[in-house]
């Protein structure tokens, strides 16, 4: 009996010690720039475009040691921007559509693609970012329809990245609260909004815990665990991930991606209320494999993203879209300056990547606006 009591007391002491340690870390981290995203405004039947709560300030940071810290805000419309969007302004507008690459929490807004375009227009046009982390091609079509109905842009820019294809199809890992393609037995798709379920207790607690946010966002603990638990076959692949998605390019996965591309290129002009020639599709490069002409770049071209980006570029060009293959501009800039376009622990474009993208998109827009 005494032995059992001693064991229980020992366990209690360990538990109290761990709790005190956790509370100490929680307290300290509340004074540090832990990455905190704005709160989401869920979609509704009346307003089905999920966005952030308006007029929120946020702090984003990278790495366990906070090697990059960015302070930003959402505008009155719930998008990450230093300025509000005016649906009644007389100047023409371009809608810049995308996911976290366009949203760019990890880049000061003034250095993003959208803000650089706004500056380049010198008051002759407006650049509005309509983007949120986790949005795939299917959501980009919803964004284009929202832009058409609300801001009537004369041009639309869509930034496409590696995980945009399979995440468009419901059933693959993706973000709720967005529009997805639901496969039908006949091989087609139904297009509808995936509701955002209420947050569970664990998620609600995590959102308000500096320690939880630090582990999830700065340390990226889930990715670390995923890497440790990866199957030996997947871990042994020379390029397991390309474009922030699995490199696996099996025939069924490629065929599904090709169906998504066909749907996207057909639906986008109708949603945007524009001709394909007035829509710029900027396709990200196979970063970070573009810095050298070596076996890794050759292997990257044969991966899921490598093959689908080639298909998208070819088919969009054939249909008359204004296509920007970012590989050319990025490789040219790297040859001149030898500066990378992503962060050490984050594959999103850094400020230099946004600068090159903005210059390429501005060039694609030509003389517009007059």
Does residue 225 have a pLDDT over 70? yes
Report residue 162's pLDDT band, with 50, 70 and 90 as the boundaries. Answer: very high
Is the pLDDT higher at 19 or at 186? 186
Residues 72-109 have pLDDT tens digits of 999 999 999 999 999 999 999 999 999 999 999 999 99
**Integer CA distances (angstroms), 59 to 107, 201, 202, 213, 306, in order:** 11, 24, 22, 12, 33
The pLDDT of residue 235 is 52
CA distance 286 to 61: 24
Cα end-to-end span (Å), the chain: 89
Q: What is the pLDDT of residue 201?
A: 80
Closest CA to 262 of 322, 193, 181: 181
Specify whether the CB–CB gap between 60 and 70 falls below 8 A. yes
- The pLDDT, as a whole number, for residue 236 is 47
Q: What percent of the chain has pLDDT over 70?
A: 96
What is the average pLDDT across 133-153?
98
| Model pLDDT, residue 208 | 87
The answer to whether 157 and 125 have CB atoms below 8 angstroms apart is no
**Percent of all residues in the chain with a pLDDT value above 90, rounded to a whole number:** 83
pLDDT of residue 104: 98
pLDDT at 7: 74
pLDDT of residue 227: 65
What's the pLDDT tens digit per position in 248-302? 999 999 999 999 999 999 999 999 999 999 999 999 999 999 999 989 999 999 9
Q: Which CATH number fits domain 46-57+75-199+227-365: 3.30.40.230, 1.20.1050.10, 3.40.1010.20, 3.40.50.1110?
A: 3.40.50.1110
Q: From residue 350, how far is each of 31, 156, 303, 347, 353 by CA, in Å?
A: 26, 22, 24, 8, 5
Which of 184, 322, 321, 324 has the alpha carbon at shortest distance from 266? 321
Rg (CA), the chain: 22
For residue 264, give every residue at least 6 positions away whose Cβ sits within 8 Å of its Cβ, in sequence order, or none. 137, 138, 140, 141, 168
CA distance 364 to 321: 11
What is the rounded average pLDDT of the residues 232-239?
Answer: 59
Tell me: pLDDT of 233 over 60: no
**Predicted local confidence at residue 237, as pLDDT:** 61
The pLDDT assigned to 228 comes to 62
Which pLDDT belongs to residue 268? 98
List, in sequence order, every residue forming a beta bridge with 128; answer none if it has no partner: 95
User: Considering the chain, what is the average pLDDT of its residues?
Assistant: 93
Residue 234 has pLDDT above 70, yes or no: no
């Amino acid at each position: 009996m005494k032995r059992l009591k001693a064991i229980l007391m020992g366990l209690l002491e360990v538990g109290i010690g761990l709790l005190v340690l956790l509370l100490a870390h929680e307290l300290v981290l509340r004074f540090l720039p832990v990455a905190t995203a704005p709160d989401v405004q869920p979609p509704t039947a009346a307003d089905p475009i999920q966005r952030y709560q308006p007029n929120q300030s946020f702090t984003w940071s990278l790495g366990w040691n906070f090697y990059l810290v960015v302070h930003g805000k959402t505008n009155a419309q719930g998008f990450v921007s230093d300025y509000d969007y005016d649906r009644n302004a007389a100047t023409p507008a371009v809608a810049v559509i995308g996911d976290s690459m366009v949203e760019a929490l990890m880049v000061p807004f003034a250095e993003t693609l959208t803000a650089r375009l706004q500056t380049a227009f010198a008051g002759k046009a407006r650049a509005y970012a309509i983007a949120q982390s986790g949005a795939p091609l299917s959501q980009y079509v919803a964004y284009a329809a929202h832009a058409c109905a609300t801001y009537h842009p004369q041009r639309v820019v869509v930034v496409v990245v590696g995980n945009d294809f399979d995440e468009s199809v419901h059933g693959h890992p993706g973000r709720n609260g967005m529009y997805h393609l639901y496969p039908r037995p006949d091989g087609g798709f139904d297009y509808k909004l995936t509701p955002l379920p209420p947050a569970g207790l664990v998620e609600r607690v995590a959102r308000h815990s500096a320690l939880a946010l630090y582990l999830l966002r700065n340390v990226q603990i889930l990715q670390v665990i995923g890497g440790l638990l990866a199957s030996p076959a997947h871990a042994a692949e020379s390029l397991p991930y390309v474009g922030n998605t699995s490199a696996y390019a099996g025939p069924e996965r490629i065929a599904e991606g090709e169906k998504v591309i066909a749907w996207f290129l057909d639906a986008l002009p109708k949603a945007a209320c524009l001709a394909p020639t007035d829509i710029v599709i900027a396709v990200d490069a196979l970063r970070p494999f573009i810095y050298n002409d070596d076996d890794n770049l050759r292997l990257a071209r044969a991966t899921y993203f490598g093959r689908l980006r080639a298909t998208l570029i070819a088919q969009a060009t054939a249909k008359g879209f204004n296509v920007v293959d970012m590989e050319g501009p990025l490789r040219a800039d790297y040859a001149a300056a030898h500066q990378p376009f992503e962060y050490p622990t984050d594959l999103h474009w850094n400020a230099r990547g946004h600068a090159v993208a903005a210059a390429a998109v501005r060039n694609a827009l030509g003389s517009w606006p007059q």
